[in-house]
């Protein structure tokens, strides 16, 4: 990844591999955090491809989730902490003319960023001053809501696909009697349109099926637990944060409460399904 002769497209597997290391080896690769961050920052300085910028920024998010105090100390040691977080917040806020996010488009991207940013919140004031804490908190809330909305939309699409599959089973026999032209037209409908914008870039669609330890981590629950821990360990700092961000907290309060209720229902439903499967297997 540090080779200046390699093009952006040639080194995309490298940040993905570092992500795997940080997510699967928490607490076991402290000695590799600094060298990984160093080459990540160096590459970030000369990268032009937006997708690769997102991957490199996610390495930093993964490092924060791995060990936030260690990662922040290294970024400060390298003299790039302010620069990196300014770029990160800028990328999170950047949108296209259509209003959709220009970066971190996938659920996975948003989730990784949520976990990384949330991991910063419990840091003491000497590592994360009040102003920086407020900015991180606000950015995390905004991204968390966007993530949950995308997950809900994906769930609706999956339900629609299931319904379509059932309809397809009922009409297969009728379709067999048709000529080949209908099948050809159907195939064309699933081919990517050359005129699509970069939201349809193949770069963003090849990693969603990969398994990771963070698959079982709900970023919203992680955020709520982190805030509760912060409130218990440093109530004065939490009160100052709450006072500074009252308008933001009020704006998202109902949304967050609604999400929490839905998440609790989802977890209860999942436990019930597992219990039913176990009972069925036992019988």
Taking only the tens place, the pLDDT of each residue in 178-192 is: 444 443 433 333 333
Mean of pLDDT values over 186-214 = 51
Please give the full DSSP string across 147-159, using - where no structure is assigned: HHHHHHHHHHHHH
User: What pLDDT score was predicted for residue 166?
Assistant: 54
Residue 113: inside a domain, yes or no? yes
- pLDDT per position as a tens digit, 44-87: 999 989 999 999 999 999 999 999 999 999 999 999 999 999 99
At residue 202, does pLDDT exceed 60?
no
Contact status, residue 243 vs residue 52, Cβ threshold 8 Å: no
Residue 262: inside a domain, yes or no? yes
- Domain boundaries, position 44: 8-157+215-276
User: What pLDDT score was predicted for residue 161?
Assistant: 67
- Residues of the chain with pLDDT > 90, as a percent, come to 49
Measured distance CA(274)–CA(253) in Å, rounded: 32
| 159 against 216, higher pLDDT | 216
Residue 189: inside a domain, yes or no? no
φ and ψ of 152, to 5 deg: -65, -40
Stated pTM of the model: 0.76
User: What pLDDT score was predicted for residue 85?
Assistant: 96
User: What pLDDT score was predicted for residue 207?
Assistant: 56
CB atoms near residue 85 (< 10 Å): 19
User: What pLDDT score was predicted for residue 7?
Assistant: 84
- pLDDT per position as a tens digit, 82-111: 999 999 999 999 999 988 899 999 999 999
At residue 129, does pLDDT exceed 70?
yes
User: What pLDDT score was predicted for residue 167?
Assistant: 55
| 121 against 277, higher pLDDT | 121
Residue 180: inside a domain, yes or no? no
Least confident among 145-149, 199-203, 218-222, 258-262: 199-203
Least confident among 38-42, 48-52, 119-123, 163-167: 163-167
User: What pLDDT score was predicted for residue 170?
Assistant: 53
| 156 against 251, higher pLDDT | 156
User: What pLDDT score was predicted for residue 260?
Assistant: 58
User: What pLDDT score was predicted for residue 199?
Assistant: 45
User: What pLDDT score was predicted for residue 23?
Assistant: 96
Mean pLDDT of all residues belonging to the chain: 80
Mean of pLDDT values over 213-242 = 89
Residue 183: inside a domain, yes or no? no
Q: How many domains does the chain have?
A: 1
Residue 3: inside a domain, yes or no? no
Measured distance CA(147)–CA(107) in Å, rounded: 6
Measured distance CA(67)–CA(119) in Å, rounded: 8
CA dihedral over 227, 232, 233, 237, signed as positive or negative: positive
DSSP structure class, residue 194? T
């Amino acid at each position: 990844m540090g080779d200046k002769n390699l093009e952006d497209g040639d080194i995309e597997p490298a940040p993905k591999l570092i992500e795997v290391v940080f997510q699967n080896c928490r607490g076991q690769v402290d000695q590799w955090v600094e060298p990984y961050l160093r080459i990540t920052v160096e590459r970030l300085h000369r990268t032009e491809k937006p997708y690769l910028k997102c991957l490199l920024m996610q390495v930093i998010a993964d490092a924060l989730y791995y060990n936030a105090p260690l990662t922040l100390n290294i970024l400060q040691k390298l003299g790039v902490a302010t620069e990196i977080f300014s770029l990160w917040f800028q990328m999170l806020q950047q949108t296209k003319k259509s209003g959709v996010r220009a970066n971190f488009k996938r659920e996975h991207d948003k989730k990784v960023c949520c976990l990384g940013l949330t991991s910063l919140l419990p840091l003491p004031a000497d590592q994360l001053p009040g102003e920086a804490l407020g900015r991180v908190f606000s950015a995390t809330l905004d991204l968390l809501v966007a993530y949950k909305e995308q997950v809900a939309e994906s769930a609706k699409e999956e339900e629609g696909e299931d319904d379509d599959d059932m309809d397809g089973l009922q009409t297969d026999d009728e379709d067999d009697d048709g000529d080949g032209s209908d099948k050809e037209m159907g195939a064309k409908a699933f081919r990517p349109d050359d005129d699509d914008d970069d939201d349809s870039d193949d770069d963003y669609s090849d990693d969603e099926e990969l398994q990771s330890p963070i698959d079982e981590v709900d970023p919203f629950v992680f955020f709520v637990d982190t805030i509760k821990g912060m409130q218990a360990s440093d109530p004065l700092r939490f009160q100052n944060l709450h006072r500074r961000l009252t308008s933001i907290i009020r704006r998202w309060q109902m949304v967050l409460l609604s999400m929490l209720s839905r998440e609790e229902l989802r977890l209860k439903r999942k436990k019930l399904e597992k219990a039913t499967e176990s009972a069925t297997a036992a019988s």
